[in-house]
Amino acid sequence: MHQESSYKHLTFSPSRVKEVALKAIESGCALVAVNRLGQIIGVIGGCVVQPAFSYDLMSCDYLLYVNPLFRGTVSVRLVAAYVAWAKKQGAKMITVGVTAGYDNANAIAFYESLGFNQCGVQLRMEV
- Mean pLDDT, the chain, integer: 92
Domain 2-113 = CATH 2.60.40.1480 = no
pLDDT for 66 = 93
Segment 76-82 long-range contacts (CB within 8 Å, at least 24 positions apart): 76/114, 77/33, 78/31, 78/33, 78/42, 78/43, 78/44, 79/44, 79/111, 79/114, 80/114, 81/31, 81/44, 82/29, 82/31, 82/44, 82/46
pLDDT for 37 = 95
Per-residue confidence at 27, pLDDT binned at 50, 70, 90?
Answer: confident
Averaged pLDDT, 101-118: 91
- Global pTM? 0.88
Amino acid at 43: V
Averaged pLDDT, 24-45: 94
